Structure 1
């Protein structure tokens, strides 16, 4: 089994508020996240294309 990828973040907001986060993820998890993000971006592009297209005018 491969080693997990590890990311840590530490942030301080003022003197009393601090944030710590740690993420461990495998290569397969990164691939799954990449697939989800790309499908979201592609579907958003389709929605924007449909919303901004110009329809032909109908004569009444």
Structure 2
């Protein structure tokens, strides 16, 4: 069994990202989020995608000519 310091809390998630290019560029990022936070992020992303689809549809529709 894992020690209490290494046990993950239920409903919490973590992710780590590392990007490096050559010897000069090096970025590291860590994210800790709860299940409720993941739900909020999913809702935010889906609303952005939905609004983008509506904007593209309106911008590309053909209106009747006014002659």
TM-score by length of 1: 0.86
Partner of 1:45: 53
Between the two proteins, the alignment pairs up a number of residues equal to 59
Unaligned runs of at least 5 residues, structure 1: none
Partner of 1:29: 37
Per-residue deviation, residues 12-31 of structure 1 (Å, max 9, x unmatched): 21123321110000110000
Distance 1:49 1:38 in 2: 17
Q: Which runs of 5+ in 2 are unaligned?
A: 1-8
RMSD: 1.4
Larger relative contact order (Cα-Cα within 8 Å, sequence gap ≥ 6): 1
Runs (4+) off by over 3 Å: none
